[in-house]
Amino acid sequence: METSTSTLENQADEVSHVEATLSKQRPTLPGKQPTRAADKTGKAPPSRGRLRLSANWWRSLQCVGMSLHFLAYPRPPNPDFVRSIPSTLSSRKGNFALHFYVPDGYEKTARWPVVVNFHGGGFTIGNGTDDARFARFVLEKAHAIFVSVDYRLAPEYPFPTAVEDGADALLYIIKNAEDLRVDPKRIATSGFSAGGNIAITAPLRLSQLRKTRAVPGHRVVALATWYPITDYTLTREQRRLTAIRPEECLSPALTDLFDASYLYPPDLNLADPYLSPSKASDELLREGIPDKVLFYTCEWDMLLHEGEELSQRLKGPPISKNVRYTMIRGVAHGWDKGPNPMKTPRKSEMFGFANTKDLEAVGDSQAIEASRLQRPTAPVIHGKPKYKLAGLPRLDYNIMHYKTKLFIVTGLLLFEGSIAPVLLYYALTYGTTLREGIIFAIITSLFGFISGFEFALRSWRLILKEDTYRPLGEKRWRFDFTHQSLGLIYTIMTAILIGGSIPHPPVVRLLAIPMPLFFIHIGLQGSIMGWMAERRAPTLVRVSSIPRGEPTPPFVLPLIEDVVAVDGDGKKAYRQRLMERWRVSRRFRAMIKGLNWFWGVGSLAFGIGLMVVVWTTPEVIAYGVGWGAPLVFIGVWTFVTVVWTRRGLHFEKLGWTSELDAREAKLGSRDADLSLREGSLRDEQVVGATDPPIQARENVEKPVDTRV
């Protein structure tokens, strides 16, 4: 696959006349620098609003393509956890996400090298999980933490926001190296296409920051860039002239959108070194670019020429970097992101990203052993208090990272289970002449569309051959506790709706009780399991990840475990982390128990009260109250739960920190966290509270593997 400079020169006869034309048109430094205003074509530039609409359209298409890409086997991993960090360098303030993929053994006490990656998409489309397949190769071959930066996109955030977000990501990792288990002396950057540009320019920006502000000690030791765009002083037309196969290049509609979105305002200096690293001075490149550079281009790409030119410049004097240049033959720009699940794996394995072995120096095992440290504390993010959480398992799940899915699914379920029945009943009753039987037939036929689809989806996930979503130790066809519990009440509710609609006239009060019955069901389970948990009664059946015969947990615990793991895509790793947190933290157990009584007693009282209202008020009122009141109850109880959980987790961490400080003063930092874990369990047992069977000390010392 590799090609030397001499190999590339053998192709000069194919493009020599084009390159000669290009060399005359290429701007030179120093002197007046080119701007977008100098490249006018007579057409008015598109408005920013129109660019946003186009960008969102292409983002939707790209999501579909990447969904197909991820179907290819072996499937790429999911991030182990996500951090949302604030922008500090950009004038356009806001937050962006860092997706962390961690290798096996991450919970141990070693410092790990880190590869900070930037996705492609012309600075306009794409997201931080696009390079998950590359992350898998980095984890397996380089044995390093892989951090994918979900930098903010144009046209909402034009140049230089992406570069500043890239530098901010590096700064965050450096400043929180101890908390993240990162070795700041072994950092590498990588990126694809536009991300390849950031992989080059972010270290340049960081090198200049060191001259104006204090930056903790660090070292960027390597850079890997795939088919990057490096020279914006060239127009797209000039680039296409140098392409060996122009028909394989990205369409003008797409590249014009990228350029118009990112290159703003119109008088932008296109030779800015953070935009066009090919135009950076030798001094800046020598100071900012790491010594080891891995440079990859594509034979059929319009960016081939400028990529080869920059790689040769970095390799030669006076910059003199250790550059390994590779041109991949027979492929076009973005070939590794193809949506065809039958071809992508073959190509990926052919290239194999086998060149990630070049990053193995970053993950030298001897360096890892030489960098051992204590368990890290939680990171300090945007002024939050710093907790000392050594020994406290992290849940590493932020529901706000799934806020779009949460909003859509929750909204549809509430619409189906509360809003739609009330709207249809009163609208069809008072706005049409349909008889009651037809009205309720229409309402009943709509019930279950959303919830049924969601139920079928989680059923499919739980019976997949891969043990990805199932409870710990559970067999393939057993489902989880929440699925069994909700499946029972869902069947009863459906039977009531069908049975109440059949008579003529329909039994309106009977048709109004499914939701009260649902809350009675939830309340009874919460209350009974809460009572059993307080008495340390053994479970009669398996409760998700808790085997039969072990102490019964509060109903809320398996509910959280199952919903987050399956519906929230936390998968088996979240189940493991939640069970470990439940075992070692008595404050966490107390919070879960309190929430269980809050929902159990509250749901039971609400369900019984609602049932009384349904059977004692006029039918026309009973139906509306039976289906509409639950919406108010859920809203109030959810709000209280969010506040309760945030405060509970805050006080849990503060308590853990104070106890850890006390034990460190007595035992030393080495044994304090283990003593605190054991003490938390022992203290909880003394007061007679519930706790699953506790592992012996030698088992507690083993780190919990959070990877699926």
Cβ contact 226:296 at 8 Å: yes
Lowest mean pLDDT, pick from 74-83, 108-117, 275-284, 346-355: 346-355
Residues 459-515: tens digit of each pLDDT: 887 888 777 778 887 777 778 888 888 888 888 888 888 888 888 888 888 988 899
CB 194 within 8 A of CB 161: no
Enter the DSSP assignment of 704. Answer: P
* Helices 252-262/48-69 angle, 10° precision: 120
pLDDT at 708: 32
CA-CA-CA-CA torsion for 609, 612, 617, 618, nearest 10 degrees?
A: 120
Predicted pLDDT at 666:
62
Q: For residue 172, what pLDDT is reported?
A: 94
pLDDT of residue 7: 40
Handedness of CA 252, 253, 258, 264 (dihedral sign): positive
Report whether pLDDT(283) > 50. yes
More confident residue, 19 or 131: 131
Averaged pLDDT, 368-389: 40
Phi, psi of 322 (to 5 degrees): -85, 95
Mean pLDDT of 334-339: 74
Higher pLDDT, 234 or 10: 234
d(CA 61, CA 82): 24
Among residues 533, 528, 536, the alpha carbon closest in space to that of 601 is found at: 528
Burial (0-12, 13-18, 19+ Cβ within 10 Å), 550: middle
Give me 696's structure tokens. 């012996």
pLDDT at 24 over 70: no
**Residue 187 pairs with which residues in a beta bridge?**
114, 220
The DSSP 8-state label assigned to residue 120 in this structure reads -
User: Model confidence at 42, in pLDDT bands (50, 70, 90)?
Assistant: low
Residue with tokens 């926001």: 161
Output the pLDDT for position 376.
35
pLDDT band for 367, please (50, 70, 90 cuts): very low
At residue 674 the predicted structure's pLDDT band, cuts being 50, 70 and 90, is low
CA 410, CA 614: separation in Å to the nearest integer? Answer: 25
- CA–CA separation, 493 and 268 (whole Å): 63
- DSSP notation for 675-687: HHHHHHHHHHHHT
Whole-number Cα distances in Å, 364 to 112, 520, 705: 10, 59, 22
Tokens matching residue 75: 């499937």
Residue 398 has pLDDT above 80, yes or no: no
Show the DSSP H helices in 320-435 as ranges: 344-351, 365-370, 403-414, 420-431
Cα(610)–Cα(616) distance, integer angstroms:
10
pLDDT at residue 665, rounded to an integer: 61
Which of 10-24, 74-88, 176-190 is predicted least confidently?
Answer: 10-24
Entry pTM: 0.53
Cα–Cα separations (whole angstroms), residue 434 to 420, 446, 499, 611, 624: 17, 17, 20, 27, 18
Q: Is the pLDDT assigned to residue 680 strictly greater than 70?
A: no
How is the beta sheet containing 182-192 ordered, strand by strand?
A: 81-86, 95-101, 145-150, 112-118, 182-192, 220-226, 292-298, 322-328
pLDDT of residue 357: 52
E strand or H helix at 189: strand 182-192
CA angle 386, 387, 391 (to 5 degrees): 145
**Per-residue model confidence (pLDDT) at position 374:** 33
pLDDT value at residue 125: 93
Instruction: Please tell me the predicted confidence (pLDDT) of residue 91.
Output: 92
Domains of the chain, each with CATH number or no CATH: 5-10+73-370 (3.40.50.1820), 399-700 (no CATH)
Asked if 569 and 402 touch (Cβ cutoff 8 Å), the reply is yes
Q: Which of 134, 208, 227 is nearest to 170 (CA)?
A: 208
The arithmetic mean of pLDDT across residues 355-360, rounded, is: 53
Least confident of 331-340, 378-387, 525-534, 628-637: 378-387
Return the top range by mean pLDDT from 28-42, 141-155, 573-587. Answer: 141-155
Quick check: 1 pLDDT over 50? Answer: no
pLDDT at 152: 95
Q: How confident is the model at residue 63 (pLDDT cuts 50, 70, 90)?
A: confident
CB neighbours of 268 closer than 8 A, spacing ≥ 6?
Answer: 35, 36, 159, 275
Identify residue 262 by its one-letter amino acid code. Y
Q: Token pair for residue 563? A: 């919903």
pLDDT band for position 701 (50/70/90)?
A: very low
Instruction: Report the pLDDT averaged over residues 68-89.
Output: 82
| Contact criterion met (CB below 8 Å) for 406 and 569 | no
User: What residues pair up with 98 in beta bridges, in sequence order?
Assistant: 83, 149
Helices (H), strands (E): how many in the chain? Answer: 26, 8
pLDDT at 360 over 60: no
CA distances in angstroms from 83 to 78, 95, 139, 196, 642, listed in the order given:
14, 10, 19, 22, 20
Query: Is residue 6 over pLDDT 60?
Result: no
CA dihedral 574, 577, 579, 585 (to 10 degrees): -140
What 3-state class would DSSP assign to 379?
A: coil
Residues whose CB is less than 8 angstroms from the CB of residue 50 and which lie 6 or more positions away in sequence, other chains included? none
98's enclosing H/E stretch is: strand 95-101
**pLDDT at residue 15 in the model:** 38
**Which has the closest alpha carbon to 284: 314, 242, 264?**
314
CA dihedral 180, 181, 184, 190 (to 10 degrees): -70
Residues 575, 524, 564, CA angle at the centre, nearest 5°? 20
Instruction: Provide CB contacts within 8 A for 537, sequence distance 6+.
Output: 551, 552
Compute the Cα dihedral for 454, 394, 137, 292 and give only its sign. Answer: positive
Predicted confidence at residue 657, as pLDDT, reads 75
Beta strands 81-86; 322-328: pairing state: unpaired
Burial class (CB in 10 A: 0-12, 13-18, 19+), 360: middle
State which H helix or E strand residue 146 sits in.
strand 145-150
35 beta partners? 269
Residue 68 has pLDDT above 80, yes or no: no
Q: Residues with Cβ < 8 Å from 462, sequence gap 6 or more?
A: 469, 470, 479, 480, 483, 566
How much of the chain, in percent, has pLDDT values that exceed 90? 30
Residue predicted with more confidence, 141 or 387: 141
What is the C-alpha to C-alpha distance for residues 48 and 39, in angstroms, rounded to an integer?
19
Q: Which residue has the higher pLDDT, 104 or 191?
A: 191
Beta bridge partners of 37: none
Token couple for 50: 């129109």
| Mean pLDDT, rounded, for 622-634 | 90
Chain mean pLDDT for the chain: 79
* 158-167, 375-384, 527-536, 557-566: least confident range: 375-384
pLDDT at residue 409, as a whole number: 80
